[in-house]
Amino acid sequence: MSAIKIWMCIGLIATVLAVVKFTSITTGPSANEAMVAIRVAQRDLSEAQWAYREPRPAALHHAEATLNLALSALKEKRYEEAILSAWEASQLVRKLGG
């Protein structure tokens, strides 16, 4: 292979990688990111439910409702809203711990 062909291949690979990177950045949050955020919130909520048996604090009920909103948003493919709702549910639960 000549030097020109090698540089052309390197240039083509760099261009493809740049396009893939740009596309992944501009498309916004993905379903995978939303599912991870929801799983973290579910784990936090599960731990809090175990720690606070009865009576449950109002913040815990609010966290459950917020997590349900996150799950609904995920089903409707509104990934950014799902991530934000899951994060909010986690924050509500973590505030209970002090």
In a domain, 44, yes or no: yes
- CB count within 10 Å of CB 41 equals 26
18 part of a folded domain: no
Structure tokens at 39: 């799983």
Residue percentage of the chain with pLDDT more than 70: 93
- pLDDT over 80 (residue 24): no
Alpha helices, DSSP H only, in the chain? 3-26, 31-51, 58-75, 79-96
Q: Which domain holds residue 37?
A: 29-96
- pLDDT exceeds 90 at position 85: yes
For the stretch 50-77, pLDDT in tens is 888 778 788 888 999 999 999 999 999 8
Inform me whether the pLDDT recorded for 43 exceeds 80. yes
Q: Give the pLDDT confidence score for residue 32 in this predicted structure.
A: 87
Distance CA 47, CA 13 (A): 47
Kindly state whether residue 2 falls inside one of the protein's structural domains.
no
Count how many domains the chain has. Answer: 1
What is the pLDDT, as a whole number, of residue 27?
67
